[in-house]
Structure 1
Amino acid sequence: MNHSLQTIILEIHNKEDKVSSQNKRLIDEAYEMTLYLQELLFSVKEFVIKEGFKDEAEETHFFRTVKPQILGKLIYYNKVYRIETTCPVSNGKMYYSYFSAQLAHLKREYIEHICNTDFYRYYRSGRTDRDDTYFKRGHINYHDGLNSIVFEIDPTFSTFYDYKIARIIANELLYTYLLTKINPDENPDMVMQKPESTKDVFWTESKNALIELIYALYASGAISHGKIGIRKISLMFQILFRIPLGDLHHAFHRMKTRSGSKAAFLDQLKQSLEEYMDKDL
């Protein structure tokens, strides 16, 4: 498969950054990303059907990793658009009840259709021994009693299980999105309204760079012996620098699929520090 397909995830990342930098309403961002991802998925489908894969390893990689990222985010943005456009009010008890109901529905769906399946445990454990069964076309086992959506998929561009991973990705993104809606303390919009005591302190790198730093501090347990969560750490930085970071979980998923270094900003920090140290020698 040609190089352009290998850079699809980076292209999505760049598109998301471009859309978010335009300071549009969330509804408009979700709509624009839905159209973009729908067109991207269509063009990738055309390419796959026409060109195929060079070997089985490339095929399983595509259906396990590449396509679910596109489809998962498409499902996510489309759902966000639907949720936002049907929200009855902009604040208050009804607003809270609406998003709480959406979150409850998401949790029920997760329990009933996702987390208790053998495939979910397989995927979450990082196993690869059955990838040839799950992520190669033409291997759908109808004796497993699969969801009826299996009859609607295009067998030339799906193994069915790529769709299941896409749903897992979408649900994780939706979970974080809904949490920020029902918990004002973790809502970036509320962070920006808090009193400012450090007006001369502001973040001058990209949002992704700050998110990378936050995750590094969280993963290392450097703050409070690792006893506080990622959202609380991120909230501290958002308040300090007066910068809304949006969907951290979403951004972190993009980092994990970067080409080259997955921690580019931390690499840059290390290099800058060492160069600074060398100046004093």
Structure 2
Amino acid sequence: MQGCCTDFFYEFELEVEHIKKTNANPITQAKLALEYIEIKLKELFLWLEKFIFNSKEDEIHFFKELKFKITSKYIFFNRILDIESNSPSNSKKLKIRHYEKALNNCFQFSKQDKEFYKYYRSGSSHNDHFYFVRNSEKQTPNLDISLINFDKKLCTSHDVKVANIIANDILEIYLEEKIEEINNSCNSNHHNVKSNLNWTGSKIEMVELIYGLHNLKMFNGGNTDIKEIANHFSKTFNIVLDDSIYRSFQDIKNRKTIKTKFLHSLSENFNNKIIEEEQN
């Protein structure tokens, strides 16, 4: 089974990379990629209708480890086409907000089916015979199948979910790079001055502080995007935040007890300092 698929997926990946490298415009790139992927999907589905797997293990391997290589790209480029077609044309600030909104939608995706998301991310396999075997009794009715036709001969209950997870991962990277690209162009005319101040706390503590200040609209009356603030903090305090700021914010939101541990500690310690000095 693996032998007959290896060449198909290898050639597919090469052609998609070629399309990406030879077309700089993201809309053109997405359209050409989708045209090609649709052709390859039809080929794959025709093959699947006739092919008989040698074992359940082979079938699980195909639907869990291989099929998403093409279906995730189809989902990804459809989303790119939608995002870029609706992107503001002139304002860099509006573009960043547009990409940040799309990025936030990516982060919300992991909350839609927490049980399976955790199962897949953790590398679990004990339910593979339910999730990745066709005509399984355990079907999931609320699949996101707007882009790919659901057919019991061609899909399992969860292989489309895997494709969505992978597409989401690729989309996050794409959006973070677009935001970084715009911010770099905004800062290209500024001279970098090496600061002697070094942040000695953790990255997530700085992220907590940045989001706290941003939420209170402490910079430019709230008209500065979070990434720009993070870039300035990175340069001023010699700490590499890069794109981890978005993931760190998700970690902060997912805390079980006190969400803003650093800000809480900051406030508590400062109040204690004031009380201590007043008593002396």
Band the TM-score falls in, shorter-chain normalisation: 0.5 to 0.7
Identity of aligned residues (%): 26
* Equivalent residue for 1:120, pick from 105, 114, 117: 117
Distance 2:170 2:77 in 1: 9
Cα deviation, 1:10-45, whole Å, max 9, x if unaligned, reads: 222211232233243121111111111121111111
Cα offset, 1:130, TM superposition: 2.0
User: Unaligned 5+ residue runs, structure 2?
Assistant: 191-238, 245-280
Is 1:147 the equivalent of 2:148?
no
Cα deviation, 1:237-262, whole Å, max 9, x if unaligned, reads: xxxxxxxxxxxxxxxxxxxxxxxxxx
Distance 1:40 1:181 in 2: 28
Cα offset, 1:183, TM superposition: 2.5
Cα offset, 1:230, TM superposition: 8.6
The count of corresponding residues between Structure 1 and Structure 2 is: 193
Cα deviation, 1:207-235, whole Å, max 9, x if unaligned, reads: xxxxxxxxxxxxxxxxxxxx968979xxx
The 3 A distance-change label for structure 1 pair 4 and 194 is farther
Distance 1:39 1:186 in 2: 37
* Equivalent residue for 1:136, pick from 133, 137, 140: 133
* Paired position in structure 2 for 1:240: none
* 8 Å Cα contact 2:130-2:136 kept in structure 1: yes
Cα offset, 1:53, TM superposition: 1.7
Distance 1:93 1:84 in 2: 15
Using CA pairs under 8 Å that are at least 6 residues apart, name the structure with larger relative contact order, 1 or 2.
Answer: 1
The 3 A distance-change label for structure 1 pair 54 and 96 is same
Distance 2:108 2:2 in 1: 40
* Paired position in structure 1 for 2:166: 169
* 8 Å Cα contact 2:30-2:77 kept in structure 1: yes
Is 1:157 the equivalent of 2:134?
no
Is 1:18 the equivalent of 2:18?
yes
* 8 Å Cα contact 1:153-1:160 kept in structure 2: no
Distance 2:189 2:21 in 1: 22
Higher-Rg member (1/2):
2
TM-score (ref. length: structure 2): 0.60
Distance 1:98 1:106 in 2: 13
Query: Structure 2 counterpart of 1:77, which letter?
Result: F
* Pairing of 1:207-218 with structure 2 (within 5 A): none
TM-score (ref. length: structure 1): 0.60
The 3 A distance-change label for structure 1 pair 139 and 186 is farther
Is 1:81 the equivalent of 2:78?
no
Cα offset, 1:168, TM superposition: 0.3
* 8 Å Cα contact 2:176-2:243 kept in structure 1: no
